[in-house]
Structure 1
Amino acid sequence: MARKKRKIKHDEHMDESWLVPYADILTLLLALFIVLFAASNVDAQKFNSLKSSFNSIFTGGTSFLEYESPEPVEIKTITPVKDKDKEKEKQEREELQELQKKINGYIADNGLDLSLKTRLEDEGLLVTIQDGAFFNPGSADVRPEDVKLAREISELLVMNPPRNIIVSGHTDTVPMNNHEFKSNWHLSVMRAVNFMSVLLENKNLDPRLFSARGIGEYEPVATNETAEGRKLNRRVEILIQPNVEQPK
């Protein structure tokens, strides 16, 4: 007689073993949020209370909340950059004023009041050399008898710290058109270059800090309608710039 197969009953039961790690994750997340909240509040008493509570929840080892909270860090007041810049500008201006006194003393001692003048501007210390002090009319060559004076001026430009220096040539509006110079601008450029070359014979000066430019007739300081005004416009200028970083 054939044996009847015993029917095996399968229980349709859902496995709930995942609930344990899920509950642990929720607990950890809750702990994390509370810690973050406590850390965002500068209340040591609340933090210590939370620490005790969590230490009772998470047993079986040293809690990460057992570590002492760091000591308060003293925040030092930092001087604003603008204030530092203003202080630097003030210091530079005072140093340029001292240099101006030195150059003015040299001018007075050598009776050069009519040939050399100084003026302190926002751009730096400006030393103006009148046309007749170094050049013949229509010429860009420093006169041999004035080379010594140019070299003495170069000694006044030796500074600590060194500064950038711009040598500029200027003319009047009388047209220049000869075999050597086609324009006043050309004449002004060559006067600036030739005068700067004499200055740089001084080995205590750094050529990298010097530049020359020709302005021609385009920055007059007086009227070109009179002989006296044209004489003032014919000049070479030495601009001694302050050692202050320009804003970008």
Structure 2
Amino acid sequence: MSKKRKHEEHEEHVDESWLIPYADLLTLLLALFIVLYSSSTVDAKKFEEMSKAFNVALSGGNGVLESYKSTDSQALVSDEQAKEDSSKKQNESTQQVSATNLDKAMQELMKKEQEDLEKLKRQVDQYIDSNGLSTSLETKLNQSRLMITISDRALFPSGNATIKPEAEKLGMFISNILQKYPSYEVMVSGHTDNQPISNSEFHSNWDLSSMRAVRFMDVLLLNDKLDPKRFSAIGNGEYDPVATNDTDAGRAKNRRVEVSIIRNYGQPSAATMISSGFK
């Protein structure tokens, strides 16, 4: 009877060992909910520190907190990308504005240059008309230069490179005009026909054309207000004709000296001149 009573008492004893892990689980869940609630009010840095601490507590794995951190990091990356894109667009816009301003400044310089050369051409044309030199001189303004073409007979005796006294007046007139436009390069070039020359002074048309260019440049540079560094002289011989060498009239056109005032910026387009009111 005593053994039976003891057995019944043992069966009535309740095993409560499961309460310990159950209590731990409830504690962890409570901590998780507290963290989730407080995460809406903490900044990203504090939340990241809490995430690391609880991930270590929960066996070092990547749980819910890590997922929240990942989402927050993605948001930060998106913000940084948006800022970078905005900065890039702003830089591109600034560059476009700078390019537009540069283009406008260049157009103004080209417009001013066109006005200068047009004025210079008119002055030379007036000199030609008033002195009856239309058969000896002409001017041409193109996309690269203003060119003053002078017949050799207006400057030199036949087969010679000595400047005629009356030609010095023309040279001084041109130099005085050039003095008003000191920013341009000036090139003086000599040309001959295809008739060969060989004497004690000149061995070829190269020699004759080169020396004529140099001699007329010397006349221009008698004006000490001109900068010699902006001047050059070349001889082209018979190799740059403007007319046929088969006739006397053609050969006469080919024997010439050209004074070229070189553009710095090039000729503005017709659209640019119209839009700026230039005529």
User: Quick check: 1:38 aligned with 2:49?
Assistant: no
Stretches of structure 1 that go unaligned for 5 or more consecutive residues are 1-16, 43-69
Q: Which amino acid aligns with 2:115?
A: E
What CA distance in whole angstroms lies between the structure 2 residues aligned with 1:29 and 1:201? 83
Say which of 214, 218, 221 aligns to 1:200: 221
Structure 1, 158-167 or 189-198: larger mean CA deviation: 158-167
Counterparts in 2 of 1:139 and 1:37: CA distance versus 1, 3 Å: same
User: Quick check: 1:172 aligned with 2:193?
Assistant: yes
The DSSP-based 3-state class of the residue aligned with 1:239 is strand
What CA distance in whole angstroms lies between the structure 2 residues aligned with 1:163 and 1:155? 14
Shift, 1:108, TM fit: 1.4
Say which of 133, 148, 159 aligns to 1:138: 159
TM-score, length-scaled by structure 1: 0.70
Identical residues among aligned pairs (%)? 42
What CA distance in whole angstroms lies between the structure 2 residues aligned with 1:245 and 1:105? 25
Shift, 1:238, TM fit: 0.5
Map 1:95-114 to 2 at 5 A: 95-114=116-135
**Counterpart in the other structure of 2:211:** 190
Does the CA-based 8 Å contact 2:182-2:226 persist in structure 1?
no
Shift, 1:185, TM fit: 1.0
What CA distance in whole angstroms lies between the structure 2 residues aligned with 1:73 and 1:110? 62
Structure whose CA Rg is larger: 2
Counterparts in 2 of 1:28 and 1:242: CA distance versus 1, 3 Å: farther
Higher helix share: 2
Counterparts in 2 of 1:202 and 1:26: CA distance versus 1, 3 Å: farther
Map 1:1-248 to 2 at 5 A: 33-41=74-82, 75=93, 77-78=97-98, 79=100, 85-244=106-265
Stretches of structure 2 that go unaligned for 5 or more consecutive residues are 1-52, 268-279
Q: Deviations over 1:45-79 (max 9, x none)?
A: xxxxxxxxxxxxxxxxxxxxxxxxx9x97955330
Counterparts in 2 of 1:181 and 1:37: CA distance versus 1, 3 Å: same
Shift, 1:89, TM fit: 3.0
Q: What root-mean-square deviation, in Å, do the aligned CA atoms of Structure 1 and Structure 2 show?
A: 3.4
Counterparts in 2 of 1:28 and 1:130: CA distance versus 1, 3 Å: farther
Shift, 1:96, TM fit: 1.0
What CA distance in whole angstroms lies between the structure 2 residues aligned with 1:28 and 1:237? 81
Q: Deviations over 1:11-65 (max 9, x none)?
A: xxxxxx9x86x99x999887555323113337xxxxxxxxxxxxxxxxxxxxxxx
What CA distance in whole angstroms lies between the structure 2 residues aligned with 1:217 and 1:175? 9
Shift, 1:95, TM fit: 2.1
